[in-house]
Structures are given as C-alpha cells and as structure tokens.
Structure 1
Amino acid sequence: MLKRRVWQLLTMIVLGIFLLLFLYSLNGLVPFLIGVAIVAPLIVGWHILFDHVQPQAKLAWLLAVLFIPFLGALAWILFGRTPRRHRRIKRTSTEIRMFRQAIATERIETSNDVSDRYPLTRTLEKLGATGADSHTSTKLLINGDAKFEAVLHDIERATHHIHVQYFLFRTDEISLKIRDALIKRANENIIVRFLYDGLGSQEINEDFIEPLRESRVHVQAFDPIVHPLLVFNANFRNHQKLIVIDGQIAYTGGLNVGDEYLGKHKKLGFWRDTHLRLEGPLVRELQRLFVENWLYAGHEEDKETWDLFADDEHLPKYFIDDPQAANGATQLLVTSPGKDVTIRDGLMALLMEAKESIWITTPYLIPPPELLALLEVAGKRGVDVRIVVPGQGDEWFSFHATEYYFEQLLKRNIQIYKYNRHFIHAKTVLIDGKIALVGTANFDFRSMYLNHEMTIAQYETSSVEELKQAFLKDFDESILIDWSMLRKKSNGKRFIEAFCHIFSPLL
C-alpha cells in the first residue's frame, strides 16, 4: 500500500514538473509559484487546522505546508486528509438507514447472565461493539490449508446464499478455484454476492469477473478506483475479510485469498496465519455488516435494495436464529475510517484489564501512542507481555518501522519474538489466557484509524484454548529478541529504522 502511495506522489510530481516547464515557456512560472506559495498554505492549512487528528500530526502537516507549499499541500491531499466516504450517495444512505430499521429486532442483546459472567462485554458494548452472545460456536483455523479447505466444503453445502467479501482477492490458482466454486453454486441457483476492495483487489479485471456475471453472480467493488496512480482516497480501504453462508456460517480473520496464503510466495515461503469459523446468533451481526457494505458499494441504478435482505419475505432467509451449545461468549467489533475507533477503544479496555498476560501476534507492530503506552505500563506492572512479529517482512517500510520499537519495548519488560518460519500474518490477541481477539486488524495506525476493520472478541470459548496452544507453538518457533541482538545493530540499520518510523502513521 505504501508503494502505491509513493508512486502516486511521484506521478503527481512528474506532472507538476511538466506544468512548470510549460509555464516557464510562457513566462508565467514566477507568478504561478508565488501564487502557489501564498494560496496553498492558506487553503490547505485551513483544512488541517480543523481536522480531527492528533496535535502532533496537525503541527507536522502545517509545518510541511508552510515550508514546502506545493509538495506539502500535494502530500496532504494524498495522505493526510481526514477519512470521509466520498462515494456515499443519497440512495445508498437511505438504503442503509432503511435496512438498519428493518433488522433492529435481529441485533444481539447481551443478557444479564453473560454480562455478570463477563463484565467486559458491557464495557465493549458501550464502546461500540455489538451485544455478546453465548450460543455461537467458534473454530480456529490455522493457516491457509485449513481455512480454504473448510471454505470450499461449506460453499459446496450452501442451500440459499453465499456472501463473499475480501480486501485482497487475487487471480491465481486458489483464487480461481474459489471463484469457480462460486460459479458452480450460482449455476445451481444459489444466490452469490461477491464484494472486493477496489484498490486491494486491483488484480481483478474483466476477464476474472465476466464468468461470474455470466453465471448471475452479483459482483461489486468497494470504492473502485480509476487508476492506482491517480486515486486520492487510497488511504481509506475496506480491509475486512468475511464470508457468510446461508446466514448460519461465517468466516473472518487474517487470510485473504491468494496462493501466498498457502505458502507459495517466492520470497516469504511459509505463511503463518489465523482464521475463525463461526456458527450461531453472532452470524447475524456479520451478515448485517456484509449487507451494509454491499448497499454502500451500490450505484444509483443498482437493483439490490434493502428489502431484498430484510423485508418480511427475505429476512428469515438471511437472518437465522440458530443457537449452538453454550460456549463462553462472543461479540463483534468494527472500525471504519473517521470517527469510529471501536477496535482501538476495545483494545485499550482489554489491555487495562489484563492481570496476568497479554499475548499478541501482528505482522505490523506500529502502535498508536496510546496503545504503546498501555503496553509499556502493563510490562512495568509485571504483566507477561509477549509480541510475535515476522522474522521476514512483506513490506520494507513496515518491517523496519516495526523493529524500531524493539528497544523501547524491551526496556519495559516486554518480550519480542521474531517468527523463525518466515512470515506471520495473524492478527490475534490473548488476554490472561481467557479473552481472545481474532480478526482483520493489525496492531498499527492504519487498522486503528484508516481502514474498515473487524475483529471477534471471545470470552472462554472453545477456540480460546486453541489459540493459547497456537501461541505457545509460535513462541517455540520464534527467536526471542534480547539486548545482545540489539547491540549488534549497525548505525545504518538504526538510521533506516528511525527513518521508517517517521512514516509509520502512513503505513
């Protein structure tokens, strides 16, 4: 993602140079530059002043615009604007509002029994999470083989509908296998809806989509882009991964769809990841999330209206009351660009409540200051804080920005493990061995503030113990960082880490 944004900036700089050369040939260069130097800081600075961002970021942008007016203003337009849903049109807003009203009675409500046993469910609900349910079954799926095998099996068993949403959906072997499975079911009169992020899944083209549409699969892109070098809302993407089948089964977690998730990446090789399969009432909340994203992605001429999901005829087919055996409790946390920071707030509440241990796996450890401070306080007060990060990174900037934090965290008694089997992409948290988060959100600025993300909170469910065992195995297969390793860093390596850290809010 960062590479694309850098290419955006370089493209605009090249276009700017051609503009300057053209103006120079017309003897209009000096008046133009003077005008830009005066007008750009005033216009952009005004917007920055009233943006709802941290004071440090606001000051940095103001200084950039003041001292390098043209490039500073251009960089802010590309990278610095407060998230807004630019494509939201009146029809989709109305559709979503009507849909929410229609399914109001289908929302999960936390019972007193659940909140008495797990008080944090009420806290997270006040912070924006859904209600907590005690009759949703959860199954942990470790790595791509387990996830894709289970998904293909459930797709084959679908009886009414299949809803698929991904940030990154490639066009390689496993991607075509899943696409063809969807086509097969659509030809068998199963309703199939396929939603992909317009930037994350930019590999998808008409050759990939046409067979889907010919089989009556409904296909939409979430905030599609004209060209990756000229898009100005690239920062704010839908990073969620979600499948809902018959309103009874759902999948979410760290894995997108691509051969690299099966360990076929030429550079990274083995790919460690974690996904979650759910059955039960909480699937209704995941269904709601998919439908809202689907309606948002619609166009004026789109015939997929709210009543196709939630009128008296269709609601019982999409929102199923299917309680499973009692199984701890689960609830859904969702974050969207702008004001909604439910996942961040939920993480803060969990970190503050931790008494014994905080275990985290994340491919990108670039924490906002408030989360970093809570981790440091937890380490100083004797909580067993362990963080597993990749031994090899998939993004140069993110990998080195992550390693910048090692020394700071070790000073606070926090243990850092570098995964020794290439790359770990799981986004999981385990608190006191009893409360778990499994979802799509990384432990970084982007997931907390800029992306659409989702995560499932679990309280003593059957998969919490499974996750604990997965953590123990990851620790065994990782290298524990110590001070002797950090002292061996060259000055060049330290400079690279510090340089990448400067850009960490953009990563």
Structure 2
Amino acid sequence: MFRLKRRVIQLMIMVISVILLVSLFFWLDILIPVLIGIAIVAPLVVGWQILFDQVQPQGKLAWLLTVFFIPFIGVLAWVMFGRTPRRHRRFKRTSSEIRMLRQAIESEKIETSPEIASAYPLTRTLEKLGATGANGHTSTKLLVNGESKFEALLEVINNATDHIHIQYYLFRTDEISLKVRDALIQKSNEDVTVRFLYDGLGSQEIGEDFIQPLRESRVHVQAFDPVLHPYLVFNANFRNHQKLIVVDGQIALTGGLNVGDEYLGKNEKLGFWRDTHLHLEGPLVRELQQLFVENWLYAGQGTMDETWDLFADEEHLSRYFVNEPKGQNGATQLLVTSPGKDVTIRDGLMRLLMEAKESIWLTTPYLVPPPELLAILEVAGRSGIDVRIVVPGKGDEWFSFHASEYYFEQLIKRNIKIYKYNRHFIHAKTLLIDGKVALVGSANFDFRSMFLNHEMMIAQFDTTSIQELHDTFLKDFEESILIDWTMLRKKTTRKRFVEAFCHIFSPLL
C-alpha cells in the first residue's frame, strides 16, 4: 500500500511538471512579469528571515549572497538547507514522551565520581558543557576500517538474545547491507526484538523492497525525518548523522562507518576506505541506549505504537538499561549535539583543544572549521604544539574537498602539518590530544557537524583504546603525503579559483 501511494505521488508530480512545461509556451508573455516579481519579492522575504536567524555571521552572509544573486535557486536552496531549527516543526526535543523517558531513567544516569573528577578534571568541565557524566568502568576497543567493524557488527547481532537497536545515517541496499539486514531478520525470527532506524535523507536509497522483508519478520522500522522524494526535500538540514547499535543493553558500536560496500573499499572512485569505529561495554552503554530511544520516540511522533513506558517503566527498565560495570578503564563520556543551540561537541572540542600541552592529532574527511575552532588550532600551532591533521587524498564531496584545501596554506603558515592520505579516502572522525585524551565518533570538523546535524562523540581519558588510536595515527601519517610549500606553489590559477569559490560557501557545507 505504501509503495503504491509513493508511486501515485511520483506520477502526479511528473504529470504536473509536464503540464507546467507545456503551459510555459502559451503563457510566456504573462509569466515573465510574474517571474520578475517573484525574483524581487522572494529574496527580500527570505533575506529578512535570514537576518534574524540565530546563525553565525559567515553563514548569514553566504546565504544572503546566494539568495540575492541567484534568486530562484538561492531561495529554493534556503528552503531545503538553510532554515534554522526553530522553523523545523517536527523537531521537539521537549516532547512529553521524551520528558517522561528522562524522568523514568534519571536514576540510571551516570554520575561522575569524585575519584574520576580528581584524576581527570576535564570530565567535570565537559559535563558542565552538556556531556554525560564520566564513567571509569566502560571497556573500549578500537575497530579500524570496514572489515573489523562489520565483523564485530555481525557478531554482536548474531549473539543477541533480547533486543537489537540499530540506527544509521546511511544504509545501502548492496551486498554488506543485505547481509546485515538478513542477520537482523534472522534474530527477529528467533524472537529477539529488533528496532531499525535510518535517516530519511541519508538512506533514501532504501525502498519498500528492502524494508518489506524486515516488517514481515516483525522488525520495527522507522525513518528519522522521512522525505517524500529525493527531489522534494524540505528538511534537508538537521539530519541524524549518528551511527549506533546497542545490543541487549550491554554492548554498543559507534563511530564513523555507515553500512555500505564502499566502507569495505569497493567504491571504484574512492578505492580503499580508511575509517574508525568503537566497541563499548559497560555503564556508558546506558547513555547510548537513551540516545537511541530518544531518536526512536522522535521518529515515531504522531503514533502510539511504541511509547516511553515500553522502554523505561518498572517492567522494562532493567531490560533496556543494564548496569554491568567492567574493569577500571580510565574514563569515558558521551557528547551529543543536536540542531539549534545545542553545541556540546563544538564547545567540548574547544575546551579540549585549549588544554593541549604537547600535541593535537586530528583526522577528518571535511576540514571546514568554524572560525573559533580554526583560531584555536592556529594558536596551538604557533605556540609550538605538534598539530597534525590528516585529510583525504581523494574527496567524495566536490565542494567540501576543495573548500578544505583552501585552508592548507593558512594552516601551514601557523606551523600546522597537513597530511593527505595517500591510500585515497579517509573518513575517520578522531582526535588525540597529548596522547592521553581522545574523541571518536560521527562528527566531522565542519560547520554542519557542529551546528546542524545530530552527532555523537565518545570522549576517552587514558582508556586502553587510546594506545590503539595512537598507533593508528602513526600508521596514517606513514601512509600520507605531508603537504609542503613546494606543492602549494604548484597550484594552478584555476585550482586556486575553485578553492576560493568553494570557501565562500563553506558555512553552508
């Protein structure tokens, strides 16, 4: 029924489009003055809205230039990508369902112990900035690249005994995606409760042919902010970019990898795909469980199929929010950013970067930093701190790739080392400070991750996986090309123009 309805809507859109195109030939003399009027009025109306948006000045200026100089495309782009969260009506983090959930699990929240706060004072600081409490009994293991991540993913799915909560920004319909889907179906047929959440825009490739077998096997499926059609997207901003699976309330996987064959290096254009994920067990999984449930309740707004009490009433609380400490392992805590004024990850990054004494090592596929983060990196580099940034040798996004390269000269002048990954594409979102503090998660070092997307990062202090991350960085440096002035001087005028042009729109990327 859903598939038929979607096809009918698509057919109606095509018919209307044809009628409008044909009508242009008969009504051209009438349409021209109308179009001129729209080209004048629409930018003024949208420009007025942009002036009062709570966004950074760079973003306002970029949108105003776009709207006034290319009015039709600019206005449509703003409607799709530029509206601020206060106009996004479905986004209500304070809905009654989520409030009830938070009240019910208040006793399950992690509290930073005096011992942890004394050993790692920054955990208290991050908590004040919006992070969860810090826990010292959560085990962490680094999963490097697609092979180890998907092996771990399928293993935890196959070993599930009670429930599987899985959400991804991008879920393909290719070989590995079908393998994961079929594993979920198998567990559901074994009476394991499976909830499958995907982002409506990032996973638009998923159709009813992919979803129907899940539903037939009693898997609960929901889209986070679904889109009507790839060409009719009016909520393109504020996407859920998080990657997370929680199994039996005890094990969680999160990090940079979505689900698709390209993450196994099978993309002909990008080739080898470097990425980083994280395997966690212990009390911090409760915080990740809460994150999933809140996303699930939000995605199901307007329905009464599943409510907060199915997760957190007296009967279900111990099932989903398991308290099973592991051995002492430094400290871990969760940072989450949501669209709007919630900038926990941005603020946490700023605080951690300012605390660096010896080194700042960063990997990011998109180096389009907000000015405040860029300034901290520059000050650190000029202060003699060892600042190294690893970026892709090849890009998957044309605009972002060239906008990133615009910053190279500016950063190198501040004694910051830029490495281009020589095995083509690096998608990892990792940060290592002084070899002791780390961040691993879904957030890129760009405007979109800091202000527009739903993102998540795991902060770690002296955990066992930090040494693994340190060794991974060293290997990435070896497999990268260090950018120097000789390479920058060889840039053609055309290349410099492209970079400068893309940089103008960097606040929109």
Secondary structure of the 1:229 match is coil
- C-alpha distance in structure 2 between counterparts of 1:418 and 1:368, whole Å: 21
The structural deviation recorded for 1:233 is: 1.0
Correspondence for 1:155: 157
- C-alpha distance in structure 1 between counterparts of 2:426 and 2:91, whole Å: 39
- C-alpha distance in structure 2 between counterparts of 1:275 and 1:72, whole Å: 37
- Alignment CA distance shift 1:94-1:369 (3 Å): same
Correspondence for 2:136: 134
Correspondence for 1:410: 412
- Alignment CA distance shift 1:89-1:127 (3 Å): closer
Q: Does 1:267 align with 2:269?
A: yes
Correspondence for 1:289: 291
- C-alpha distance in structure 2 between counterparts of 1:500 and 1:217, whole Å: 43
The structural deviation recorded for 1:363 is: 0.8
Equivalent residue for 2:122, pick from 120, 123, 129: 120
- The number of aligned residues is 496
Matches within 5 A, 1:69-148: 69-84=71-86, 86=88, 88=90, 93-148=95-150
Correspondence for 2:193: 191
Correspondence for 1:7: none
Q: TM-score by structure 2 length?
A: 0.93
Equivalent residue for 1:314, pick from 313, 316, 330: 316
Correspondence for 2:450: 448
| Preserved CA contact (<8 Å) 1:252 1:439 | yes
- C-alpha distance in structure 2 between counterparts of 1:467 and 1:65, whole Å: 44
- C-alpha distance in structure 2 between counterparts of 1:343 and 1:364, whole Å: 16
Correspondence for 1:53: 55
Equivalent residue for 1:258, pick from 248, 257, 260: 260
What letter is aligned with 2:184?
Answer: L
Q: Does 1:218 align with 2:220?
A: yes
The structural deviation recorded for 1:62 is: 3.7
- C-alpha distance in structure 2 between counterparts of 1:332 and 1:72, whole Å: 37
Calculate percent identity across the aligned residue pairs. Answer: 77
- C-alpha distance in structure 2 between counterparts of 1:72 and 1:171, whole Å: 33
- Alignment CA distance shift 1:87-1:303 (3 Å): farther
- C-alpha distance in structure 1 between counterparts of 2:58 and 2:262, whole Å: 37
- C-alpha distance in structure 1 between counterparts of 2:289 and 2:256, whole Å: 18
The structural deviation recorded for 1:33 is: 4.2
Q: Does 1:380 align with 2:412?
A: no
Secondary structure of the 1:170 match is coil
- Alignment CA distance shift 1:505-1:327 (3 Å): same
Secondary structure of the 1:235 match is coil
| Preserved CA contact (<8 Å) 1:253 1:275 | yes
Comparing 92-101 and 174-183, the one that deviates more = 92-101
Correspondence for 1:369: 371
- Alignment CA distance shift 1:331-1:41 (3 Å): same
- C-alpha distance in structure 2 between counterparts of 1:90 and 1:403, whole Å: 37
Q: Does 1:279 align with 2:281?
A: yes
Q: Which runs of 5+ in 2 are unaligned?
A: 1-12
- C-alpha distance in structure 1 between counterparts of 2:19 and 2:488, whole Å: 43
Secondary structure of the 1:377 match is helix
- C-alpha distance in structure 2 between counterparts of 1:332 and 1:81, whole Å: 28
- C-alpha distance in structure 2 between counterparts of 1:164 and 1:42, whole Å: 44
- C-alpha distance in structure 1 between counterparts of 2:251 and 2:151, whole Å: 15
Secondary structure of the 1:421 match is coil
- Alignment CA distance shift 1:63-1:485 (3 Å): closer
Secondary structure of the 1:438 match is strand
- C-alpha distance in structure 2 between counterparts of 1:392 and 1:353, whole Å: 32
What letter is aligned with 2:210?
Answer: F
- C-alpha distance in structure 1 between counterparts of 2:459 and 2:285, whole Å: 13
Matches within 5 A, 1:464-475: 464-475=466-477
What letter is aligned with 2:243?
Answer: K
Q: TM-score by structure 1 length?
A: 0.93
- C-alpha distance in structure 2 between counterparts of 1:140 and 1:91, whole Å: 31
The structural deviation recorded for 1:37 is: 5.0
Equivalent residue for 1:429, pick from 428, 431, 440: 431
- Alignment CA distance shift 1:38-1:162 (3 Å): same
The structural deviation recorded for 1:353 is: 0.6
Correspondence for 1:354: 356
| Preserved CA contact (<8 Å) 1:92 1:295 | no
The structural deviation recorded for 1:91 is: 11
- C-alpha distance in structure 1 between counterparts of 2:87 and 2:108, whole Å: 26
Q: Which runs of 5+ in 1 are unaligned?
A: 1-10
- C-alpha distance in structure 2 between counterparts of 1:59 and 1:258, whole Å: 37
- C-alpha distance in structure 1 between counterparts of 2:249 and 2:87, whole Å: 28
- Alignment CA distance shift 1:24-1:484 (3 Å): same
| Preserved CA contact (<8 Å) 2:243 2:255 | yes
Q: Deviations over 1:168-221 (max 9, x none)?
A: 111111111111111111000000000000011111111111111111000000
